[in-house]
Amino acid sequence: MTDTEVTSQIIQSLATYLKRDPSSITDSHHLRDDLGLDSVAIIELLFEIEDRFKIQIPDQDLPGLSTVGSVADYVRQRLISGGSAPKAAAKPAAAPKKPAAPKKAAAAKKPTAAAKKPAAKKTGTAPKKSATTSKKAAAPKKATAPKKSGTSKKTTAAKKKATR
Which tens digit of pLDDT belongs to each residue from 111-164?
555 555 555 555 555 555 555 554 555 555 665 655 555 555 566 666 666 666
Q: Is residue 107 part of a domain?
A: no
Q: Which of 16-25, 71-80, 102-111, 155-164 has the lowest mean pLDDT?
A: 102-111
Q: Is residue 64 part of a domain?
A: yes
Instruction: Give the max Cα distance, the chain.
Output: 101
For the chain, how far is it from start to end, CA to CA, in angstroms?
A: 91
Q: Is residue 15 part of a domain?
A: yes
CATH number at residue 69: 1.10.1200.10
Q: Cβ contacts of residue 160 below 8 Å, gap of 6+?
A: 140, 143
**pTM, 2 dp:** 0.50
Q: Is residue 100 part of a domain?
A: no
Q: Is residue 102 part of a domain?
A: no
Q: Domain range spanning residue 14? A: 3-82
Q: Is residue 26 part of a domain?
A: yes
The mean pLDDT value for 27-54 works out to 93
Q: Is residue 97 part of a domain?
A: no
Q: Which of 12-16, 18-22, 78-82, 153-157 has the lowest mean pLDDT?
A: 153-157
Sign of CA dihedral 8, 10, 13, 16: negative
Q: Count of domains in the chain? A: 1
Q: Is residue 88 part of a domain?
A: no
Q: Which of 71-75, 81-85, 103-107, 134-138 has the lowest mean pLDDT?
A: 103-107
Sign of CA dihedral 145, 150, 153, 155: negative
CA 8 remoteness from chain centre: 37
Residue 4 is predicted with a pLDDT of 86
Q: Which of 23-27, 50-54, 108-112, 137-141 has the lowest mean pLDDT?
A: 108-112
